[in-house]
Amino acid sequence: MKILMQIDMEGITGVTTWEHVTPGHAEYARFRRLMTQDVNAAIRGACEAGADEIVVADGHWNGSNILVEELDPRARLNTGSPSPLSMMQGIDESVDGVMFIGYHARNGTPNAVLDHTWSRMTVANVWLNDILTGEYGLNAAVAGHFGVPVIMASGDQTACGQIVEQLGDMETAIVKQATGRYAAECLTPEVSQELIFTTAARAVNRLAEGDVPDPFVVDAPFRVTVEFFTSDMADRASLLPGSQREDTRVSITTKDMVSTYRGFRAMVTLALS
Ligand SMILES: [Zn+2]
C-alpha cells in the first residue's frame, strides 16, 4: 500500500499563532521540528498497519518546513516550490490513500486555529462548483481526479469536523481543541503523537478493508470561484485568460480538476502580486 501524506502546519501539535508557522520568526524553529515529529508519528502508524511506500508532501508556505534529516527514512519527501501540483505533489494513480496532517479550517470559521483558505492575505472564500470549501476540498478533489480517497486527517476539532463533513467518515486525530483563531487547549507532543500513530494505523487498516470514504469527485465541468478580500485583487486575478468576474469573485472553469487547481493557484498568485 502506498500512502501520500499531505502536510500543512497550522494544525500541527501546539500551533496557535502565525509566529509559530512563519519562517524567519524565532518560534518557527520549534514548530517545524514538531511538524516533522507529527509526520513521523503518522509514518510509524501507517507502516505498522502495512503501508510499504510513503510519500510526504510539505505543503506549508514555500514547502520547505519539514526537517529532512529528522524524517523517518521509510518516507520520501516532496519539498520546495513551486511544484507542478503544489500541496498535492506526489499524487498519481499509484497512491492508495491520502492523509492530511496538520490541517486547518477554511477561512471565516469560528473556534478554528489559524483558519484561512490558501492565502490569508487574499482569499475570503472558495467554492468548487457550488460547494463552499477550504484547502481540504481542493486537495481532496485533486486526489479524486486520480481515484484516490482521503483516509485520515489531523488538526483541531473544527478542521477535522469540516473535513469529515465534506469528505466522509474517516479517522481523525484531534490534537487540540480550538477556542478561537489564536487559542486552543493543546495535547502535549508525547500524547498527540501517540494519537496520530494509532489513528494512522487505524486508517490504513480501514483502507485495507475497503472501509474508507469514496474519492472526492465533483461533477464536470470543474469551476472554482474565489472571493477576494479587495477589488484590486480581483482586478489582477481576472487577468487570467478565460476567467470570469463578478465584483470581488473571480472564477475559472475547465474540463479536468488538475487544470482547475492550477487555475486557482494562478488566480491567487496574480492577486498577491
Ligand atoms: Zn494551509
**pLDDT tens-digit series, residues 48-59:** 999 999 999 999
- Give the pLDDT of residue 14: 98
- Based on the residue annotation, tell me whether 25 is a catalytic residue of this protein: no
* Mean pLDDT, rounded, for 222-236: 98
- Give the pLDDT of residue 253: 98
- Supply 183's cell numbers: 487559542
pTM: 0.98
For residue 168, what are the contacts with CB-CB under 8 A and spacing of at least 6? 149, 212, 213, 214, 216
Provide the pairing of β-strand 244-246 with 249-254.
Answer: antiparallel
SS3 168: coil
**pLDDT tens-digit series, residues 212-221:** 999 999 999 9
**pLDDT tens-digit series, residues 129-154:** 999 999 999 999 999 999 999 999 99
> How far apart are the CA of 119 and the centre of ligand 1, in A?
8
CB-facing half-sphere around the CA of 8: CA atoms within 13 A: 28
> How far apart are the CA of 136 and the centre of ligand 1, in A?
9
* Cα 39 → chain centroid: 13
- Give the pLDDT of residue 267: 98
- Give the pLDDT of residue 272: 94
Q: Dihedral through CA 113, CA 117, CA 122, CA 125, nearest 10?
A: -110
Options 20, 60, 104, 116, the catalytic residue: 116
DSSP 71: S
> How far apart are the CA of 87 and the centre of ligand 1, in A?
9
> How far apart are the CA of 199 and the centre of ligand 1, in A?
21
